[in-house]
Amino acid sequence: MAAPASAAAGHGGGMSSDNAKGLVLAVSSSAFIGASFIVKKMGLRRAADSGVRAGYGGFSYLVEPLWWIGMISMIVGEIANFAAYAFAPAILVTPLGALSIIISAALAHAILQEKLHTFGILGCVLCVVGSITIVLHAPQERDIDSVKEVWDLATEPAFLCYAAIVVAAALVLIYFVVPHHGQTNIMVYIGVCSLLGSLTVMSVRALGIALKLTFSGTNQLFYPQTWAFALIVATCVSTQINYLNKALDTFNTAVVSPIYYVMFTSLTIIASVIMFKDWDHQNPTQIVTEMCGFMTILSGTFLLHKTKDMTDSPGQCLSTRRPKHASQNAFAIEVMPLKCQDSIDDETLMLSLPKVENGYLKEEHLLRYKDSSMV
């Protein structure tokens, strides 16, 4: 298998040349993908000024050069990530995908002026730590010799059940949840992308195996299974792009990136475990460690979701005076918040209100209970 061979090659004197190539490709992939989120959102903002926003079903971004630059950047990043797996084991490549979160958040802060709360930063750290914990304790990849072998694995009852649940959940989100909650709940758009993304990765891996075997002399392009996987990839990727655009156009990029990474990585690992039966060769300690990593991810996701609209500005909730509001009688009423220990009895309140019918609607009769202790 490739992973043990690579480890053996690097055991004698540091990192092997193949692992070094894989490392460079993986880091480059994260840089391109992280930057693509920012460039695409800049394009979406420009497109929104001249047409219907993507979040409301518009497609004016398709004629915006910046969006295409971001899209090309993402494609280059995905190609680099795909190539990295040809040189280095997944245990080295996959955790480096977390770098795209840091790059995206930093660029969003510097370019888009999208601020991330301190607890949001902590949530990012928890997400990255949890994801790395899962990946570092994940089992070695299975050695596949034919695309037909992958098809046999994909058509076993366990994975067919998983695929059916994923497709059903995605359809429910698209047709029933998105119209009502897509603009207010960040998990809806990202949920569609992540669910279909797990199927995309399984199909992409099958295509990668087919291409590798074809280039090595065993043509896999004559098998209908190869083209079936290609159709699945095209369908899932096009849907992912559509809903990822909606998420980027609607919500803070610094929050979209880590949540998408967490959900996508988690569901992909689950799909891989079911399809390739990775846990059959692991001991309970490894499995428990992976589950702890998953709980860490959930904690980070919760922090990110709860703090996405918060800021670090001090004294934000310490305001003691609200602006004056005009009543229907053009009578200025200044609303003064009460302290917790202050109270007003019904008699005082009734006497304090201006009474039009008694003819003494004058400014000096405003809320008699205003005093310095209530400011």
Structure tokens at 66: 């910046």
Alpha helices (runs of H) in 111-223, residue ranges in sequence order: 118-136, 147-154, 157-172, 178-181, 186-215
**Residue 239, domain member (yes or no):** yes
Among residues 246, 281, 316, the one where a domain terminates is 281
**Total of domains in the chain:** 2
Residues 83 and 152 in one domain: no
Among residues 222, 253, 281, the one where a domain terminates is 281
Among residues 262, 281, 300, the one where a domain terminates is 281
Q: H/E element holding 326?
A: strand 325-326
Residues 76 and 146 in one domain: no
Q: For each of the chain's 375 residues, which pLDDT tens digit applies?
A: 444 444 444 444 445 666 677 778 888 998 899 899 888 888 888 877 776 665 666 667 777 888 899 999 999 998 888 777 666 655 567 667 777 777 777 788 778 777 777 887 887 788 788 777 876 776 665 667 888 998 999 999 999 999 999 999 999 999 999 999 999 998 999 999 999 988 988 887 788 778 778 888 888 889 999 999 999 989 999 999 899 989 988 888 767 877 887 788 788 778 878 887 767 777 888 888 878 888 887 787 677 666 666 666 554 443 333 344 444 444 444 444 433 444 444 444 444 444 444 444 444 444 444 444 444
Judge residue 338's burial from the number of C-beta atoms within 10 Å of its C-beta, 0-12 exposed, 13-18 middle, 19 or more buried: exposed
**Residue 145, domain member (yes or no):** yes
**Residue 5, domain member (yes or no):** no
- Measure the CA–CA gap between 204 and 229, rounded to whole angstroms: 7
Residues 188 and 82 in one domain: no
Residues 195 and 96 in one domain: no
pLDDT number for residue 270: 84
Residues 103 and 158 in one domain: no
**Residue 270, domain member (yes or no):** yes
Residues 149 and 247 in one domain: yes
**Residue 267, domain member (yes or no):** yes
Residues 203 and 97 in one domain: no
Residues 149 and 275 in one domain: yes
Residues 237 and 158 in one domain: yes
Residues 94 and 183 in one domain: no
- Measure the CA–CA gap between 15 and 312, rounded to whole angstroms: 42
Residues 107 and 155 in one domain: no
Report which DSSP code applies to 51. Answer: S
Are 214 and 146 in contact by the 8 Å Cβ rule? The answer is no
pLDDT number for residue 142: 63
**Residue 220, domain member (yes or no):** yes
Residue the block writes with tokens 């990849």: 141
Domain ranges, residue 39: 18-114
pLDDT number for residue 21: 75
**Residue 286, domain member (yes or no):** no
Residues 31 and 72 in one domain: yes
